[in-house]
Amino acid sequence: MSGTARVGRRGASGGTNDAAYLRRLGPGDVAVIDQVDLDRATATALLEAGVVGVVNAAPSISGRYPNLGPEILVEAGVTLVDDCGPTVFSDLADGSTVRLHDGAVHVGDREVVRGFAQDRDTVADLLDEARGGMAAQLEAFSANTSEFLGRERSLLVDGVGVPAISTSMRDKQVVVVAGGPGTAEEVRALTGFIREYKPVLVGVGDGADALREAGHTPAVVLGTVAELDPSLARKARDVVVPADPDGFVAGLARMQDLGVDPIAFPSSANPEDMALLLAHAHGAALVVAVGFDASLGGFLDRGRSGSIPSTFLTRLRLGPTLVDAPAVLALYRSRVSILTLVMLVVAVLAAAVVAALALGAGPSLVLLLETGGRAVAQWATAVYRGVVG
């Protein structure tokens, strides 16, 4: 297949944690990235951008654990040329037309770089082998968790470092939306819950865009300068930015130039967990997590090494205050009860009978309406009793 090469930065995933790169991608492009163990979130973001091919300088499946990204790409018919080496960033020019064939990347008639062509069978074999690396990853997880706890003990235990915000969350329900696979669908499914309970909405990175697309305006947005949309940030009551010492000062000046005055959150936790800790520290009665994957595979299938202990310890800190969106969707029902619907049906049929009498309808029509009304009322009552009982 052929497409336009969009070359990312060497050492950058070109995925969900590189929003500027994602915005450059469009339908028919070939994404040139550098990400070991291509995760599900990155693969989904690439698919949503419409890419037809992916050229990865690194191995998409290293064998450390069974990551899900490559399987998602090949199942969707995206050509994946894997493990091409770092020279791909110097050998390929951004915007050039490339052709991918049998593991090779061609520009015109010239083979520029060669990798490994992944397909369903090769990905399945590599994933089977990678499942054997789970034990080693769990051991590393234990060590990283102890290290993270030592570094962020004050934040996790006492809430030290959580910034003050103008949005009130005390004794309120808070919905935290992160940009992940299925986020848009979960937000749309929660529309009834949001309208009824009017929770405080917090958008993290692309999660803020998902809220806007569903017709909601987040009160708080949190993310890096590259992730946040200035137009959406200006509408939020609070804008919280991770205080990354490498880029926070420059990013702060840029956002202030755009009319946004962000609040710094000094922590090495990932932005999604910062948002959960922010809600908990400000007294949220219930925190609903949207776009989060709390499964073991989801914990391991992350591109950032610090994400696993951060997410694990954050969930322990929030405890029963935190619930995931699928649980809310399974339990939530509208306050319009079945009994109310029964009464509505009976009222409509009664009105029909009255109208028929007023218009001089024959006895047979009135009898039909009365009989139908009683039948519908009995059926609806039986349904109500069955559900409530």
Cα–Cα distance for residue pair 190/290, rounded to 1 Å:
9
pLDDT at residue 97 greater than cutoff 90:
yes
* CA-closest candidate to residue 178, choices 261, 321, 278: 278
Residue 148 lies in a domain: no
Cα–Cα distance for residue pair 232/219, rounded to 1 Å:
10
In this prediction, residue 291 carries a pLDDT of 86
Confidence class for position 94, pLDDT limits 50, 70, 90? very high
Residue 354: domain span: 338-388
Q: Could you say which of 131, 147, 180 is where a domain stops?
A: 131
Same domain as 325, residue 383: no
Cα–Cα distance for residue pair 184/207, rounded to 1 Å:
8
Residue 350 lies in a domain: yes
Same domain as 307, residue 166: yes
Q: Could you say which of 331, 349, 370 is where a domain stops?
A: 331
For residues 331-341, give the mean pLDDT: 60
Same domain as 183, residue 316: yes
Same domain as 270, residue 191: yes
Residue 122 lies in a domain: yes
Structure tokens at 337: 């009860």
Residue 152 lies in a domain: no
Same domain as 310, residue 174: yes
Same domain as 297, residue 351: no
CA distances from 202 to 88, 188, 236 (A): 39, 15, 9
Residue 59 lies in a domain: yes
Q: What is the pLDDT of residues 145-157, one digit of tens each?
A: 777 777 787 888 7
Structure tokens at 46: 């690439």
* CA-closest candidate to residue 115, choices 80, 145, 150: 80
In this prediction, residue 2 carries a pLDDT of 93
Confidence class for position 75, pLDDT limits 50, 70, 90? very high
| DSSP assignments along 113-179, one per residue | EE-EEE-HHHHHHHHHHHGGGHHHHHHHHHHHHHHHHHHSHHHHHH-TTPPP-SS--TT-EEEEEE-
Residue 289 lies in a domain: yes
Residue 48 lies in a domain: yes
> Which is it for strands 238-242 and 220-222: parallel, antiparallel or unpaired?
parallel
Q: Could you say which of 291, 306, 331 is where a domain stops?
A: 331
Contact status, residue 167 vs residue 238, Cβ threshold 8 Å = yes
Same domain as 99, residue 57: yes
In this prediction, residue 170 carries a pLDDT of 95
Same domain as 290, residue 352: no
More confident: 122 or 370 = 122
Q: What is the pLDDT of residues 288-309, one digit of tens each?
A: 999 887 666 666 655 444 466 7
Instruction: Name the pTM for this structure.
Output: 0.62
Lowest mean per-residue pLDDT among 238-242, 273-277, 354-358: 354-358
For residues 274-289, give the mean pLDDT: 94
CATH number at residue 62: 3.50.30
User: Exposure pattern of 27-38 as b/e (b: 16+ CB <10 Å)?
Assistant: eebbbbbbbbbb
Residue 312 lies in a domain: yes
> Which is it for strands 29-33 and 2-7: parallel, antiparallel or unpaired?
parallel
Contact status, residue 171 vs residue 197, Cβ threshold 8 Å = no
Looking at the chain, list the stretches that DSSP marks H as alpha helix, in order from N- to C-terminal side: 19-24, 40-49, 69-75, 88-91, 120-130, 134-151, 153-158, 183-189, 191-197, 206-213, 230-235, 248-257, 271-281, 296-300, 307-318, 325-331, 338-358, 363-388
Number of domains making up the chain = 3
User: 293 CB contacts (<8 Å, ≥6 apart)?
Assistant: 40, 180, 181, 299, 301
Same domain as 345, residue 324: no
Same domain as 344, residue 274: no
User: 375 CB contacts (<8 Å, ≥6 apart)?
Assistant: none
In sequence order, what are the beta bridge partners of 94?
none
> Which is it for strands 104-107 and 97-101: parallel, antiparallel or unpaired?
antiparallel
Same domain as 383, residue 310: no
Same domain as 206, residue 101: no
Confidence class for position 388, pLDDT limits 50, 70, 90? very low
* CA-closest candidate to residue 145, choices 268, 300, 308: 308
